[in-house]
Structure 1
Amino acid sequence: MFEVGSTLDLELLRTFQVVAQSGSLAATAEVRHRTLSAISMQMKRLETELDVRLLERGPRGVTLTASGELLLREAQALLRAHDTLVSRFSRERLSGRVRLGIPEDYARELLDDTLPQFMARHPGILLDVTTDTSGRLARGLRARRLDLAVVLDHAAGLEGGETLWHPTPVWAGPAQGALHQEAIVPLAVHPAECPYRQLAADALDAAQRPWRAIFTSTSIHAVEKAIETGMAIGVLDRERVTGAMRALDENDGLPALRRCVARLHFARTIAAASQPAVEALAELLRQRLSGRGPWQWDALSARSPG
């Protein structure tokens, strides 16, 4: 039982944070350089001290209980405050390598401000950034080619993650014309493993509307140009609909699109030397993206004085 005046071991909270991020006691043991039994004992000790169940153990790993989710938020804030205080007085700079994956559709917004600011704050960190479809980013996480990624929806079976914001995908067509009324709907899309491509395919298939991908590109700008010039229609974030396009919906005879979620995912194992750097970048992404996404941050920045 946790009593007034008692103190929690920060190392227990650090281990708990890694367990929450990885969803695996075995992966945590590798990251924390301890045995599996030691990690298990630490988690049992933490649960005993707090007198609450924090983890649900299953065949595919561990998940957080409601109390665990609450503790994770509080523990992250406490550890951030602690580490900031220590670094401020120790003159110790973060170092290590962080391999970040971001969807192509959001690269420009993140590169405009967030990532350059991170590099300026932490010149000792080597940042490697990859842009790709969410499905391929998910594979990169599982193959340990990435440490951290922003991924749309449950790409390629990737589960868990921290919800950052809810994108607003819409049908987009050229400002003039009625391509959406054609017998076989012409689409401009990213390659397979793109959530927006899947949204379009699922909606049209469910409505029994034939479709064909007549333009496929890994570049969001190329997809946008194909829509603007009247080659095809596509699914874009509402904020990407330009003056040369128009948003389409059920009133135009197109099926509704299901909701989409952007989540922050960590690799199941992260090199111990890079863990503080990875968490530092994750925290900046949370600050900038949680609840609003990159578009709303840009709007807020434009309105703020100075």
Structure 2
Amino acid sequence: MSELSTAALDLEALRSFVLVARLGTLAAAADERHRTVSALSMQIKRLEARLDTRLLVRGARGMTTTPAGEALLGEARELLRQHDGLVARISGRGLRGRVRFGMPEDYATRIVGRLLPDYLARHPDVVLEAVTSTSGDLARRLERGELSLIVALDRPHQLLGGVPLWRTAPVWAGARELRMTPEQPLPLALHPVDCPYRYLGVEALAAIGRQWHAVFTSTSLHAVETAVESGLAVSILERDRLTPAMRELGEAEGLPALQGCEAQLHYGRRVSAASWPAVEALGEMLTQHLGRRG
């Protein structure tokens, strides 16, 4: 039997590889792991030699994974999660740290109602802080280091390196009894400018030259849905949020088709080493459960 099939991978080298892939530089990863850059570089080189393939390359945006490295990244995260979970269960030391999680309000019900209570039940020593906001605001807060991880749509603020979760299905929504012609200026109920669906709708209307005006603007999804149900305005909603008091609008009302977005999971680059296992555990749970929506 060959050496490749019998020799074990170095778990600490895998930790360093995962950290470099997340932070983008050897220097940042070395600082996080309290090692020298040369020590981390040597770990990565030994790992590449062990697997006989290149895992990381240096580019204009720092260190990025090769196709082989990207494939290893997911497997390495899962292996480390399983290993650390086993150690925690046997030793009695569970995950600790602080996790700051952000999500759009549209999806808060299924996340807050099911996943977050399950997560805290498994990891009672973790301090969890969850917030809702628009995807654009969440992306900026993640980049500023205010959040540990987010679920966000890929518009209007696009982040690189997200884990795909599902594709959205936005539709034009109006009251069940609403009647309007293509010549009428469109009365809209909208979220603020950072909302992906506002961006999609305004972009689609501009492409066909359709006039519109904002009758109602709110950060509350429930308030926007109420404005639609009452006949006050038209809005863009996820198809599965249509209520019996609403109907989907389209070509008959002179409205263009809407492109979907991709919901993605993004990790922050300023998560402390002490909190990272807890952050990653929540990310794995979100990926496992929310990824099924696709």
The normalised TM-score by structure 2 is 0.93
Verify the 8 A CA contact 1:180 1:254 in the aligned structure 2: no
> Against the structure 1 CA distance between its residues 46 and 155, is the aligned structure 2 distance closer, same or farther, given a 3 Å change threshold?
farther
State how far apart, in whole Å, the 1-side matches of 2:46 and 2:156 are. 35
Q: Are 1:85 and 2:86 counterparts?
A: yes
State how far apart, in whole Å, the 1-side matches of 2:3 and 2:130 are. 43
1:15-66 per-position Cα deviation (integer Å, ceiling 9, x unaligned): 2222333334343233323334433333233222211122232111233222
1:185-216 per-position Cα deviation (integer Å, ceiling 9, x unaligned): 11111101111111111111111112222211
Classify the secondary structure of the residue corresponding to 1:215: strand
Query: Which residue matches 1:128?
Result: 129
Deviation of 1:275 (Å): 0.7
State how far apart, in whole Å, the 2-side matches of 1:179 and 1:131 are. 34
Deviation of 1:272 (Å): 1.2
Verify the 8 A CA contact 2:97 2:278 in the aligned structure 1: yes
Deviation of 1:140 (Å): 0.6
Query: Which residue matches 1:41?
Result: 42
Q: Are 1:153 and 2:158 counterparts?
A: no
Classify the secondary structure of the residue corresponding to 2:258: coil
State how far apart, in whole Å, the 2-side matches of 1:220 and 1:24 are. 39
Q: Which has the larger displacement, 18-27 or 184-193?
A: 18-27
Query: Which residue matches 1:71?
Result: 72
State how far apart, in whole Å, the 2-side matches of 1:254 and 1:156 are. 25
Query: Which residue matches 2:206?
Result: 205
What is the aligned-residue identity percentage? 54
Q: Which has the larger displacement, 186-195 or 11-20?
A: 11-20
1:39-95 per-position Cα deviation (integer Å, ceiling 9, x unaligned): 333323322221112223211123322212211122122112212221221111111
Deviation of 1:10 (Å): 0.5
> Against the structure 1 CA distance between its residues 40 and 89, is the aligned structure 2 distance closer, same or farther, given a 3 Å change threshold?
same
Unmatched 5+ stretches in structure 1: 294-306
State how far apart, in whole Å, the 1-side matches of 2:181 and 2:13 are. 56
Q: How does 1:7-26 map to 2 (within 5 A)?
A: 7-26=8-27
**Amino acid in the other structure paired with 2:87:** V
Query: Which residue matches 1:167?
Result: 168
Q: Which has the larger displacement, 174-183 or 139-148?
A: 174-183
Deviation of 1:106 (Å): 0.9
State how far apart, in whole Å, the 1-side matches of 2:56 and 2:140 are. 26
The normalised TM-score by structure 1 is 0.89
State how far apart, in whole Å, the 1-side matches of 2:138 and 2:14 are. 29
Verify the 8 A CA contact 2:164 2:262 in the aligned structure 1: yes
State how far apart, in whole Å, the 2-side matches of 1:194 and 1:44 are. 43
State how far apart, in whole Å, the 1-side matches of 2:199 and 2:69 are. 33
1:237-266 per-position Cα deviation (integer Å, ceiling 9, x unaligned): 111111111112335421121221000001
Query: Which residue matches 1:304?
Result: none
State how far apart, in whole Å, the 2-side matches of 1:77 and 1:102 are. 23
**Amino acid in the other structure paired with 2:250:** D
State how far apart, in whole Å, the 2-side matches of 1:142 and 1:245 are. 37
Verify the 8 A CA contact 1:203 1:255 in the aligned structure 2: yes
> Against the structure 1 CA distance between its residues 180 and 142, is the aligned structure 2 distance closer, same or farther, given a 3 Å change threshold?
farther
Classify the secondary structure of the residue corresponding to 1:290: helix
Deviation of 1:115 (Å): 0.7
Deviation of 1:154 (Å): 4.7
Query: Which residue matches 1:102?
Result: 103
**Amino acid in the other structure paired with 2:11:** L
Aligned residue pairs: how many?
293
**Amino acid in the other structure paired with 1:82:** H
Unmatched 5+ stretches in structure 2: none
**Amino acid in the other structure paired with 1:261:** E
Query: Which residue matches 1:286?
Result: 287
Deviation of 1:269 (Å): 1.9
Classify the secondary structure of the residue corresponding to 2:150: strand
State how far apart, in whole Å, the 2-side matches of 1:291 and 1:21 are. 24
**Amino acid in the other structure paired with 2:21:** A
Classify the secondary structure of the residue corresponding to 1:262: strand
Verify the 8 A CA contact 1:31 1:270 in the aligned structure 2: no
Dislocated runs of 4+, deviation >6 Å: none
